Amino acid sequence: MSNEHPFENIPLEEEITDLSEFFKTFGDPTRLRILFFLAQGEKNVQSITEELGIQQATISHQLSTLRMLRLVSYRKEGRKVFYSLDDHHIFDILKIGIHHIQEGQR
């Protein structure tokens, strides 16, 4: 995927805006923890809360952000709500990020 030709055309204003919102969503430790946990498979809110040891309201707020930016999808089952990563892009970006970080250890 790398070392190809640059982007055919520089993205439009609107795309830049959307894209920055998209990436911004990865830019918070709590949200990243949620995403990495979801990378293990579908999880409900309670189990996320327990895993991260963070207030339930905080988790819900962040899940709301993740939903809006389409980083996660969800499914209701009774009063539980199960979240999962929205598509493979999310997984790929996390992987590349980790690689970049780990290669950069000085």
Q: Give the residue, chosen from 22, 51, 73, 74, that forms a contact with DNA under the rule CB under 7 A.
A: 74
User: Does the protein bind DNA through residue 55 (CB under 7 A)?
Assistant: yes
Binder among 57, 76, 78, 102 for its own copies (CB under 8 A): 102
Helices 56-68 and 45-52: crossing angle, nearest 10°?
120
Please give the torsion angle defined by the CA atoms of residues 34, 15, 75 and 81, in that order, rounded to the nearest 10 degrees.
40
Give min distance, CB of 23 to DNA, in A.
Answer: 11
Contacting positions for its own copies (CB under 8 A): 1-4, 6-7, 10-11, 15-29, 31-33, 36-37, 39-41, 70, 87-102, 104
